[in-house]
Structure 1
Amino acid sequence: MPDLLIELFSEEIPARMQRRAAADLQKMVTDGLVEAGLTYAHAGAFSTPRRLTLAIEGMLAASPAVTEERKGPKADAPEKAIEGFLRGAGLTRDQLEERDTPKGKILFAQIHKPGRPAADIVAEVLEQTIRTFPWPKSMRWGAGSLKWVRPLQSILCLITTEDGAESVPLDVDGITSGNTTYGHRFLAPEAITVSGFEDYEAKLKRAFVVLNPEDRAETIWNDATNMAFAAGLEVVEDAGLLAEVSGLVEWPVVLMGTIADDFLELPPEVLQTSMKEHQKFFSVRNPKSGRIEKFITVANRTTADDGATILAGNEKVLSARLADAKFFWENDLRVATSAEGMAAWVENLGNVTFHNKLGTQAELIDRMAVLARELAPIVGADPDEAEQAAKLAKADLSSEMVYEFPELQGLMGSYYAKAAGHSDAVAAAAKEHYAPLGPSDDVPTAPLSVAVALAEKIDKLTGFWAIDEKPTGSKDPFALRRAALGVIRILVENKVSLPLCDTLVLGFGPQPSEWLESAARNAIGDAKFDALIEIDGSEVVYDVKTAVVSDLVRFLHDRLKTYLRDQNIRHDIIDACIAMPQNDDLTLLVTRAKALSKTLATDDGENLIQGFKRANNILTAEEAKDGVEYSYGADVKFAETDEERALFKALDEAEKTITPAMDKQDFTTAMTAMAALRAPIDAFFDAVQVNSDNQTVRRNRLNLLSRIRSICTSVADLTKIEG
C-alpha cells in the first residue's frame, strides 16, 4: 500500500505554535482523506522551526468504488418531478428501477461512483488544508492572497509505492509541489531530493536538521545535564522552556556559559526568571550552595571556535539584563529595610485599582487582614501575626522587581519581608498565599500561610459574588473557579474544620449593601427576595447576605464534586453527603463522602442500599396512602417471626454504635455498623409481609421500616444514591 509524505516549508514558525500546528496538519489531512474514502494504517506529524511534516503509512491507492441506492418519486409522478430526480442522480429514465411498495410503484436509482486515484484526492485535501489552516496569527506576502504564519516557500508532496515515488501535482498561489526540501539554513542550505519518509528523515539529518522535536529536546537535555555534571553542577529542570527551545533550533548545539560574579548573590529565582524570559537560557545550579552559577544556551549551529563567539555575545547581553535585575533588587531592598519599610508599598497600592466596584489593592489588603485575623484561631495561627502577614502579603506588587517580572509576585515579597526583619512565617505567607494556582500545585500547610491564603481567596469569592460577577459557562475572567478549588484543597488537605457559611458572611461584611441586594435578587429571584424582606419603617430586617452565601456555597459544592470525582467518588455519593447537616464544613463533608464511598464499594454496602430503598419505597407509599407518618412506636412484642425479632435486635445494636460514632464524626465506624444491617434486612424482607391483615402488626412493621430509614439516613441521605 502507498505511503504519503507531506512537508510545508516556510520561514521560521514561532515555537509556541509548532506542536499545535503539526497536530492540526495531521487532523485536517487525515480527516479529509478518510472522508474521501482513503483510509490508512498510521500517521505521524513532526515540526521544526522551518517545516511541518506529515508521514502517512498504508494508504489506499485509490478510493473504493461506491454504489448508492437513491429512492425517487412514484412511477406515475409528473414528468418534471421525474426529470429533476434524473438530473440529481445523473441517470436516464431507462436506468431507473421500478419497484412495488405499500405506497405504490416507486422509482429507485442505483448510482455507481467509481474510485478515484489517491493523488487526485491528496491534491484536493492538501490545497484545502493549506488555504484554511487555523494559525492563531497569519500573514500575506508578495502579491498573492495566500495566508500563512510566515511566508510559505515550498511544498513537498510524495506518494511512495513499491514501484517508486510519485510527486503529487499541486499549485497553491504559484507555489508548486515537488519532491525537494532544504536542509539547515546555514550549514546545508542546498535543495535535497527525497524518495520517501525514511530517505527524507535520513537526508535531513545529514543536512543538520533533526526532524522530531522530541529527539531535539532529548539531545538538548542530555547534553546540558552531562555538561553541568562534568562541572559538578546541575541543570534546573524546566519542561516548558525545554519544549520552547527545542522549537527554536533545527540542529541543537548546547553551550554552557558563566554568570559574572557581580550577579551571583541575586536570589536564584530572579536569575532563573531573567534568563528564561529574556534569553531562553537554562539555569545551572550549584547543588551544595543552591546558587545559580552558570547558564545553558542552545545554538542552532556549530562554529569553528566551538561556540566561543556565541557564548561571549550571550554573556555580554546577559550581564546587561542582570544589571537591571540587580538594580531593581538593591533598590527594593533599600525601601524594604527603610524606617517606613514595606508599609510604603502598601500605601502606594491605594492608587492601584483591584476592581472598579471592589476598590483598590490597598482596600483588598484591609479586607484580607480582617479575614485572616478571624481565621487564625481556627487554623492554629496567631491573630496578630496573621493580620500583619495579610497586610504585607501583597506589598511587593509595588516593588520594581515585580513590576518587571510579575510572575515573581509573592516570592519577592518573602525575600523583602525577611530583609525587613519579619518572621520566617510572615515571609512564607507572602510567598504561599497565592497557592494553589493549579490542581497539581502544593497547598500551603503552615498555619499563618493557610490563614492568609484562605483570606485572599474568600475575599475574592465574596467580593465578586457581591457584585454579581460570577462565572458563566466557560467564561471565568476572574479565576473564581480556581479560587474556589483553592479554598477546598486548603481546607481538606490540611484537615481544617471550618463553618464556611459563617466565614463567608464575614467576607461579605465590607461589601456595599446595594450590590449585595442585587446579587441576592439574582441568586433567589425577585419574588422570593421580596417575600423574605420584612420592613419595619425604613429598616430592612432581612440580611441579604444569607441568600448570596447560600448561592456561593452551592458553587463551592459544585467545585467539590469536580475535586472528588477526580478521586473516583461518584456524584450521587457526594449529593448524599451534601444533603446532610453541616454541609458547609467541607473537610467533614469529604470525610463523610470517602467513608460512604468505601462502604458502598463492599458487597454488604451495595446490597444494603437495595434493602434501604425497598424499605423507604414501601414506607413512603404507605404513608401517602394512609395520610400519616410512621415514625415511632415500633415494638418487638408485636413481632411475629424470628427474622422480625432479629431485625429489631440488629437495629438496636447498630444504633448503639452509630449514634456515638456520629457524635464523634467517626463516619467509618458508623457506616460499617450501617452496612452490617444488610443481612437482617434481607432476611426480614424474605420472610415477612409488611402489609399484614392484622393492622396492629402492619403499623408495627411500618414503624420498623421507619427505624431502618431513620438509622440509615442519619449517616447520609441514601435516597440520593442511584441504583
Structure 2
Amino acid sequence: MADLLIELFSEEIPAGMQAKASEDLTRMMGDAFKAAGLSFDNAQAFATPQRLVLSVSGLPISTPDVREERRGPRTDAPEKAIEGFLRGVKVARHECEEREEAKGTFLYAVIEKKGRATSEVIAEALEATIRNFPWPKSQRWGSFSHKWVRPLRNILCVFDGEVVEGQLIDVQVAPYKGAGALPKLDKFQNFRFNNVTFGHRFMAPESFDVSDFSDYKQKLFDHKVILDPARRATLIHDTAQTLASAAGLELVKDQGLINEVAGLVEWPVPMMGSFDPAFLSVPEEVLILTMRKDQKYFVTRDPSTGKLANKFIFTANIEPTDGGRVVTAGNERVLTARLSDAKFFWDQDLKHKLEDNLPALEDIVFHIELGRVSDRVARMRSLAQHLAQFIPGCDAAEADRAAMLAKADLVSGMVFEFPEVQGVMGRYYAKAQGESDAVADAVRDHYAPAGPNDECPSTPVSVAVALAEKIDTLVGFFAIDKRPTGSKDPYALRRAALGIIRLITENGIRLGLAETLLNAAKPLKPYLGLQVSVEEGGDRDEAILNHVTTTIEEHLLPFFADRLKVQQRDLGVRHDLIDAVFAKGDDDLVRVLARVSALSAFLDTDDGANLLAGYKRAANILRIEEKKDGRTFDNAVDGAVLVDAEEKALAEALTSAVAGAETALEGEDFEAAMAALSKLRAPIDAFFDKVTVNADDAALRANRLALLSAIRSAVNTVADFSLIEG
C-alpha cells in the first residue's frame, strides 16, 4: 500500500469556492479510483487561497488482475450471431471455449486483463479531473485552451514517494491578433506533474521538493503556510478573542466571517485597530456591515454598555517586521474613508423626513405589470387597515402610517449605498422624526420573517404591515400568472407564503384566507388588462373579478395548502391530515391547525384507528355498489326498514354522534368533536360483524347502504377521511 499527494497550485481561489472545490476534488478522484477497482483507506482534501490539496492513503501499487467470462451463442448458431458476439468481446473464434450444457454447446469468451500500475490510473484521473472540474466560474488565460478558476501555475503529484509520470496536455489556441502581446508565461507555468511546490507568496516564495504528505505539510508550515483551513479559522478566532479581551472588550461572534477570512490568508496574523469614536453615532448595523462586508473586519463591543466599541480586528497575511504599525495604520485609513461615507449619508438623510421620500417612489417600477413602488405602497396601506380589524390590539391608523412609510427608506442615501439595511434604516429615520415605537418597529419588521429561522414579528402593527406586504406580493404575481414553476421562484413567492403562514399561525390571527386574498386583489384591477380578455359588450370589472377569483381558488389557495404542508412536515405533522381538513373548505389557518392537531391525536388512539378502518370499509362498499347501481345512497335512513339490532344501534349512535360533533365544531372544540365520533367505533364494528349489507331484499339493501352513507357523512363532519392514508 502507498500514499498519494496532489497539489493544484494557482493564483488566488475565491474563499467562497474553496470548501466545495475540496469536496469535488475528493469525489472526482475517488470515483476514478473506484471505477479502476482501486480501494483506499482514507482521503482528505485541504484548501488555501493558492492551492487545492488531496491526500489519499492506503492505495495499492497496481489495480487487480481481472478475469471475466462471457457466455455467447450456441456453436451451431447462425454465423452472423457468432460474429457479432466475437466483435463485442474482441476475441477470435479459436480463443473461445466450448462448453456442453443442457440446451446445447455454447461459446464462452474468457477475457483476462492484467492489472495496471496505479500511477497510470492517477495520471489519467488527475488530467480528467482538472479538465472537467466543476468550478462555478472559470477562466482561460494566455494561449491555453483549458480553464481553471484562476490561472493554474503548477501540478504536484507524488505517489509512493515518486513523481507520477503525467502532464496536462494542452492544445494551444490561436494567439490574439489585436494590439499588444499576450502575457508572457512565467516560471510557474509548468503543466508536467512534479514534486515541487512554493511557500508563502510574500514571506517564503521559494520552491522546495516534497516526498509525501507529512513532509509536504511540515515544509509548508516552515514556509509560512498553514494548510488546514480549520486550523487557520481556529487561530483567527482565538487570537481575535485574546486581542479583544486584552482591550477589555468582547468579540462579536461571526463564524461565517471567520471561515471566509480563513480562505483569504495562508498565514493569518490578527491585529487590532481603532477608528474615531465620532463614527459610533452612525447606526451600528451600518458600522457592522461596513466593517464586515467591505473590509472583512471583526467587530467588538463594550461589555459594560453592550454598544459597539471603536476597536476592530483585521487579519493580515504576513508577520510585519514593525509589529504591525504600518499595516494597522493602513487599515485604519481605509476604514475611516468607508465610515466617513456612511456618516455622510446618515447625516444627509436626517435632514429631511421619510414622507419627503415618497414622491421618489413614483419613479421606481415595482414590476412592469404591477405598477410602481408608490402604487404598491397604496395597496399595502389599504390592506394593512383591513387586516387591523383581525389583529387584537392593532390600531388601524398606526398600521396605515407604518405601511405608508415602510418603503420610504429605499430612496435614502444610506440604503442606496447599503441595500442590506433597508427597513432597519427606516426604523432609525422613523424614530428620529418622532414616530411611535409601533410604527417605527413595523417599518423595520415588514420584511420579516425572511426565512424559516428568522424571528417572526409579534407586535400588532408590525404583523399587519408584514402581512400586507407579503399578501400584496403573492396576490399580485399570481394574478399576472407569474407563479413558481419547478425549482424556479424568481419573486420568492414560496418564502412569502411561508411568511404569511407563520405570521397568522404564530400570532393566532383569525381570518378567512380566501376573503383576505380577494380583498387584496381588488386594487389590482387597473393592472390586469393584459391578463383578462373581455368579449365585446362584456363587463370588464366582472371579467377581472372572475379572473382573480378563479386564480385564488384554483391556484393560490392550493399553493398555501402545499406551503402549509411543507412547514408542518418539518414539525412532524402528516400531510394527509392537512389535506383532509383543507378539503372541508376551511381557510382559517389557526382553526385548520387546531383541527389537524385534534385529528392527529385522535387517530393515534385505538378508537381513532378502528374508526378510520370502519370508515374506509364503508366507503369502499359504497363506491362499489354505487358504481354498480349507477346511483348514490345519500338518502335518509328509513327507521321502519331497520331489522337487526346492530343496524338499529348504529342508526341511533349516528344520530347522537353527528349532533355531538356538530355542537362541538360550532364551539371549535375539536377534541370533543373527535370524542363524539369515537362513540361510533363499537356500533360500526358490531354492524359489520353481524349484518349483511347486500341483502337479497332490495329495500333492505338500499337502506343498509344508506346507513353506510350516513357513516361516511358523519365521520366527514370534521375532515375528509377519504384523504387520510392508512
TM-score, reference length from structure 1: 0.90
Tell me the equivalent position of 2:386: 374
Indicate if the aligned counterparts of 1:636 and 1:648 stay in contact, CA closer than 8 A: no
Indicate if the aligned counterparts of 1:7 and 1:52 stay in contact, CA closer than 8 A: yes
Tell me the equivalent position of 1:707: 710
Alpha-carbon offset, residue 189 of structure 1: 2.9
Indicate if the aligned counterparts of 2:370 and 2:476 stay in contact, CA closer than 8 A: yes
Q: Tell me if 1:334 matches 2:330.
A: no
What is the CA–CA distance in structure 1 between the aligned matches of 2:690 and 2:536, rounded to whole Å? 56
Alpha-carbon offset, residue 332 of structure 1: 0.4
Which residue identity lines up with residue 157 of structure 1 in the other structure?
C
Structure 2 CA distance for partners of 1:100 and 1:491, relative to 1, 3 Å? farther
Structure 2 CA distance for partners of 1:90 and 1:14, relative to 1, 3 Å? same
Indicate if the aligned counterparts of 2:100 and 2:106 stay in contact, CA closer than 8 A: yes
Structure 2 CA distance for partners of 1:676 and 1:275, relative to 1, 3 Å? farther
Q: Which of the numbers 255, 258, 264 marks the counterpart of 2:271?
A: 255
Indicate if the aligned counterparts of 1:636 and 1:645 stay in contact, CA closer than 8 A: no
Gaps of 5+ in 1: 336-340, 522-529
Residues 347-356 or 188-197, more deviating: 188-197
Indicate if the aligned counterparts of 1:565 and 1:571 stay in contact, CA closer than 8 A: yes
Tell me the equivalent position of 1:270: 286
Q: Could you say what secondary structure the match of 1:459 adopts? A: helix
Gaps of 5+ in 2: 170-189
Indicate if the aligned counterparts of 1:516 and 1:544 stay in contact, CA closer than 8 A: no
Q: Which of the numbers 620, 636, 644 marks the counterpart of 1:617?
A: 620
Root-mean-square deviation (CA), in Å?
A: 2.8
Which residue identity lines up with residue 551 of structure 2 in the other structure?
V
Tell me the equivalent position of 2:723: 720
Tell me the equivalent position of 1:22: 22
Tell me the equivalent position of 2:185: none
What is the CA–CA distance in structure 1 between the aligned matches of 2:504 and 2:117, rounded to whole Å? 64
Tell me the equivalent position of 2:182: none
Which residue identity lines up with residue 566 of structure 2 in the other structure?
T
Q: Could you say what secondary structure the match of 2:546 adopts? A: coil
Matches within 5 A, 1:352-363: 352-363=364-375
What is the CA–CA distance in structure 1 between the aligned matches of 2:604 and 2:228, rounded to whole Å? 46
What is the CA–CA distance in structure 1 between the aligned matches of 2:467 and 2:128, rounded to whole Å? 52
What is the CA–CA distance in structure 1 between the aligned matches of 2:461 and 2:547, rounded to whole Å? 31
Indicate if the aligned counterparts of 1:630 and 1:699 stay in contact, CA closer than 8 A: no
Matches within 5 A, 1:385-534: 385-512=398-525, 515=528, 518=531
What's the CA shift string for 1:672-701, capped at 9, x where partnerless?
A: 443454444334323433334566654554
What is the CA–CA distance in structure 1 between the aligned matches of 2:37 and 2:716, rounded to whole Å? 58
What is the CA–CA distance in structure 2 between the aligned matches of 1:159 and 1:679, rounded to whole Å? 75
Q: Tell me if 1:316 matches 2:328.
A: no
Tell me the equivalent position of 2:176: none
Q: Tell me if 1:662 matches 2:679.
A: no
Indicate if the aligned counterparts of 1:661 and 1:670 stay in contact, CA closer than 8 A: yes
What is the CA–CA distance in structure 2 between the aligned matches of 1:112 and 1:722, rounded to whole Å? 55
Q: Could you say what secondary structure the match of 2:523 adopts? A: coil
Tell me the equivalent position of 1:11: 11
Q: Could you say what secondary structure the match of 2:9 adopts? A: strand
Matches within 5 A, 1:201-350: 201-293=217-309, 294-335=311-352, 341-350=353-362
What is the CA–CA distance in structure 1 between the aligned matches of 2:290 and 2:640, rounded to whole Å? 79
Structure 2 CA distance for partners of 1:658 and 1:398, relative to 1, 3 Å? same
What is the CA–CA distance in structure 2 between the aligned matches of 1:566 and 1:52, rounded to whole Å? 37
Indicate if the aligned counterparts of 1:517 and 1:544 stay in contact, CA closer than 8 A: no
Q: Could you say what secondary structure the match of 1:334 adopts? A: coil
Alpha-carbon offset, residue 99 of structure 1: 5.9
What is the CA–CA distance in structure 1 between the aligned matches of 2:423 and 2:614, rounded to whole Å? 55
Aligned-pair identity (%)? 50
Alpha-carbon offset, residue 106 of structure 1: 5.6
Q: Could you say what secondary structure the match of 2:516 adopts? A: helix
Indicate if the aligned counterparts of 1:516 and 1:545 stay in contact, CA closer than 8 A: no
Alpha-carbon offset, residue 236 of structure 1: 2.0
Structure 2 CA distance for partners of 1:80 and 1:618, relative to 1, 3 Å? closer
What's the CA shift string for 1:486-527, capped at 9, x where partnerless?
A: 1112112212122111111122212246736736x8xxxxxx
What is the CA–CA distance in structure 1 between the aligned matches of 2:541 and 2:343, rounded to whole Å? 59
Q: Could you say what secondary structure the match of 1:440 adopts? A: coil
Tell me the equivalent position of 1:67: 67
Q: Tell me if 1:570 matches 2:566.
A: no
Q: Tell me if 1:154 matches 2:154.
A: yes
TM-score, reference length from structure 2: 0.90
Structure 2 CA distance for partners of 1:56 and 1:591, relative to 1, 3 Å? farther
Q: Could you say what secondary structure the match of 2:565 adopts? A: helix
Tell me the equivalent position of 2:556: 552
Which residue identity lines up with residue 204 of structure 2 in the other structure?
A
How many positions carry a matched residue from both structures? 701
What is the CA–CA distance in structure 2 between the aligned matches of 1:538 and 1:369, rounded to whole Å? 25
Residues 684-693 or 267-276, more deviating: 684-693
Which residue identity lines up with residue 559 of structure 2 in the other structure?
F
Alpha-carbon offset, residue 74 of structure 1: 6.2
Which residue identity lines up with residue 715 of structure 1 in the other structure?
V
Q: Could you say what secondary structure the match of 2:278 adopts? A: helix
What's the CA shift string for 1:219-251, capped at 9, x where partnerless?
A: 222222233233332222223222211111112
What is the CA–CA distance in structure 2 between the aligned matches of 1:399 and 1:290, rounded to whole Å? 28
